[in-house]
Structure 1
């Protein structure tokens, strides 16, 4: 149950849309209340970075690129924290901040997001490759046709789960929690099993040894490398899933925002397009610090779990797939990894991993199917008065229906890996913009409403450094792809 909305008399104008309402920042909740956002952070990467792309790179190129994993994973902590800061202080989604800066910028960046987020049906079809290999059904069909068959079933079940769950974020949170416990638990057991653990000393040295691109590097893998860096965590526009989840569980001022409920099994409440801002007194300042400490712990847990499991997956690819010359690709993109458990537990382990791997990938699809309609509903309602005349819940379920259909169409267009990489590259290119805007929001825009919300100059230096790294990599990728240098 959300808190009662405060009166609207005391407001603060910030940017180009409706003013924020002054209110007291709610008290900090216990760590379990923020479990859902942490689970999103910890398990989202299983959908591509952990389960597909880092195993692909390590199986194909050995230890040449594993030194990138630790910095790639840790650098995402900064943007997660800054996006969360905006939710805690306003209860709005970060996209509302983009609209407050400029409607033109908001709509142009949304156009970029529309193109970028058109291809995530690849997650459902990637998971379906494992189900097809596990069942061999329908009999006599090609691997492609079996994959498409199971993809369509996965999409229908994912859509039904969102539609029939009384409170939407709970069903997604529970499913992701189960997936990460089973998946990570099995990977930990196998990675340290005597049958495969002998490669750890060499692998650990590789984690801390810089290497250039290997001599046998295939330029066609440039896109996969960029995607792997982006998806060692959330990546690009998907970074917005974390603050959106914090908003859904009522972090900070989002406690005043009603939860999204199914129109079939719950009683929907109006969800405002704009939010709140704390009153500037010592009590609210202390509560704000408490919330940001809770966010820091939650963010750290999610980032480290994601990084740890990615390292384990890459290790298993190095120890098991690399010596055999196997790497995940095509309609076996989540099939070769089943050798991880098969190496220790034989055919039973192989088949069990196919089942778990399918669940891990499909859970990413479910998260995106929940998140993209939220994002688009926010964009529409913060930018257009006519859109606010349609209830948020109706926008959400209408958009979810559209994207379930659209993603089903896209799986006929390309193989799963191609769809994921198309989105991965575009997500990476969106990153430098997102970081620059986050710096502006935290250091210029928010302090106009809450003076004590401005972070330190040291933290600014960290953000600028990370932004410079992502900008350099984006320029490098564009340059080598289009042969500009």
Structure 2
């Protein structure tokens, strides 16, 4: 028996633990363009998961309701968040710790963790509705293509497809092949995005044309009456949201940025190595930001140019069929099916990203609360797998209960917008607690972070006032 246990323990080190810093794992950061590109990945994988829920559903619906008037908010929404994301990721590379672990050391403390951790827990329950909306959108697209047991959007067909979508996502993530799935999802999102960008650029030559004056009018920094709910949700959900900023630190750890930097031994060699990997991370994040911005603008412009003039605003389970008008009205009836396949690829890739990341976040939270030992890779893996099986069915059940993907995504977006304020507070606190001066002396980056924080704070406070019924104007 002892021999069997010894053999099992001998096999454990073969399983890489990306959350452990070992001097034997250190590597110098690449300096060439080719070498740097080979080390990119976390940001693009995150973007592949992000592009879909907010861009396809909320941003397009916002364009349909507000026209071009909120184009400025689309740009700011994507621009301001990336600097907070970079700040958190830099802290992670320097300390080798996850964002949730960082939030736990930001006061006020409530029990074993900080108030921001409890706020994350509350936010994630709201985000459960958003993930249910993603599942619902995917199930609706499948149901329209291949209805089961009756009408395409009937209860039977939607229920069966919801179960199929949830079970398949759990199976893919539980099997450990999520790396392959995420790469496949990334390719699908890129292809669909390229088509969407091409469609947005081709609209001036179609029956749904827009002009330069339309685009300039959308940069007037105004919020039309009746569009506030969509605007707040879009700000919280498009681009890199608060939960994606948090998740990005886990992907940076699993990619190896912190391990390759190594534990902090106080040497100049380690400091230079950290600067190199932080530079790689920054490029990774900025490229991902560029992709998100282009995608978001494309979806918004298409909604504003095609759906808004026809007064078509995506609602309920008809969200997918309404959005398919984006394509049928410009490319013909055949594109209806083309859109559905693309929508499935986009939304399903988002679901895969959530199924991969959320169990990690909850596992880390349970570790911080003392329920499990996060530092034991065996316990961590078992817990992640158990949550991978348990959480997606809850998301799917929330959709079957509410059956309104747009509303569900909006609720998650508003919760994410409020949580953004807490993330900004955490980023600044950790910056001055744990980041040495040499890593925060860039005035340009500091200025970008300040502007980002002010914008997020203003929108966050505005969101809270609206939720409390204390709005300061429509």
Q: Do Structure 1 and Structure 2 share a fold, with TM-score over 0.5? A: yes
Question: What is the RMSD computed on CA atoms of the aligned residues?
Answer: 2.8
SS of residue in 2 equivalent to 1:431: helix
The C-alpha deviation readout for 1:202-258, integer Å capped at 9, x for no partner, is 343234333x332xx33xx533221101222121223222222222221232x59xx
Aligned equivalent of 1:307, options 276, 293, 303: 293
The match for 2:399 is 411
The C-alpha deviation readout for 1:412-432, integer Å capped at 9, x for no partner, is 221222222221111111111
Cα distance change on mapping 1:34 and 1:134 into 2, 3 Å: farther
The reply to whether residue 434 of structure 1 matches residue 423 of structure 2 is yes
Which has the larger displacement, 475-484 or 106-115?
Answer: 106-115
* Matched-pair contact (CA < 8 Å) for 2:440–2:446: no
- What is the CA–CA distance in structure 2 between the aligned matches of 1:251 and 1:75, rounded to whole Å? 24
Cα distance change on mapping 1:129 and 1:386 into 2, 3 Å: closer
TM-aligned CA deviation for residue 384 of structure 1: 1.5
Cα distance change on mapping 1:23 and 1:334 into 2, 3 Å: same
- What is the CA–CA distance in structure 1 between the aligned matches of 2:207 and 2:278, rounded to whole Å? 41
The match for 1:236 is 242
The reply to whether residue 186 of structure 1 matches residue 187 of structure 2 is no
- What is the CA–CA distance in structure 2 between the aligned matches of 1:484 and 1:324, rounded to whole Å? 33
Q: Map of 1:228-377 to 2, 5 A cutoff?
A: 228-253=234-259, 255=260, 277-377=263-363
Cα distance change on mapping 1:200 and 1:175 into 2, 3 Å: farther
The match for 1:28 is 29
The C-alpha deviation readout for 1:355-382, integer Å capped at 9, x for no partner, is 1112201211111111111011112224
The match for 2:125 is 115
Aligned equivalent of 2:223, options 191, 199, 213: 213
* Matched-pair contact (CA < 8 Å) for 1:76–1:233: yes
- What is the CA–CA distance in structure 2 between the aligned matches of 1:476 and 1:163, rounded to whole Å? 40
SS of residue in 1 equivalent to 2:263: strand
Which has the larger displacement, 176-185 or 431-440?
Answer: 176-185
Q: Map of 1:65-214 to 2, 5 A cutoff?
A: 65-101=70-106, 102=109, 103-105=112-114, 107-119=117-129, 120-140=131-151, 142-166=153-177, 168=178, 170-193=179-202, 194-195=205-206, 198-210=209-221, 212-214=222-224
* Matched-pair contact (CA < 8 Å) for 2:174–2:388: no
TM-score (norm 2): 0.85
- What is the CA–CA distance in structure 2 between the aligned matches of 1:196 and 1:291, rounded to whole Å? 49
The match for 1:63 is 68
- What is the CA–CA distance in structure 2 between the aligned matches of 1:25 and 1:439, rounded to whole Å? 28
TM-aligned CA deviation for residue 134 of structure 1: 2.6
Question: Which of the two has greater helix per residue?
Answer: 2
- What is the CA–CA distance in structure 2 between the aligned matches of 1:287 and 1:350, rounded to whole Å? 51
The match for 1:15 is none
TM-aligned CA deviation for residue 278 of structure 1: 2.5
- What is the CA–CA distance in structure 2 between the aligned matches of 1:308 and 1:206, rounded to whole Å? 19
Which has the larger displacement, 280-289 or 296-305?
Answer: 280-289
Cα distance change on mapping 1:376 and 1:293 into 2, 3 Å: same
The match for 2:6 is none
TM-score (norm 1): 0.83
TM-aligned CA deviation for residue 385 of structure 1: 6.9
* Matched-pair contact (CA < 8 Å) for 1:116–1:423: yes
The match for 1:396 is 384
The C-alpha deviation readout for 1:147-173, integer Å capped at 9, x for no partner, is 33222211111111112234x3x1342
- What is the CA–CA distance in structure 1 between the aligned matches of 2:419 and 2:157, rounded to whole Å? 34
Which has the larger displacement, 331-340 or 397-406?
Answer: 331-340
- What is the CA–CA distance in structure 1 between the aligned matches of 2:361 and 2:220, rounded to whole Å? 40
- What is the CA–CA distance in structure 1 between the aligned matches of 2:401 and 2:40, rounded to whole Å? 37
TM-aligned CA deviation for residue 439 of structure 1: 0.9
Cα distance change on mapping 1:382 and 1:358 into 2, 3 Å: same
* Matched-pair contact (CA < 8 Å) for 1:47–1:360: yes
Structure 1 gap ranges (5+): 9-19, 257-275
TM-aligned CA deviation for residue 25 of structure 1: 4.8
Cα distance change on mapping 1:172 and 1:441 into 2, 3 Å: farther
The C-alpha deviation readout for 1:56-77, integer Å capped at 9, x for no partner, is 1111221121121111111011
The match for 2:433 is 444
- What is the CA–CA distance in structure 1 between the aligned matches of 2:134 and 2:287, rounded to whole Å? 24
TM-aligned CA deviation for residue 116 of structure 1: 3.2
Cα distance change on mapping 1:142 and 1:54 into 2, 3 Å: closer
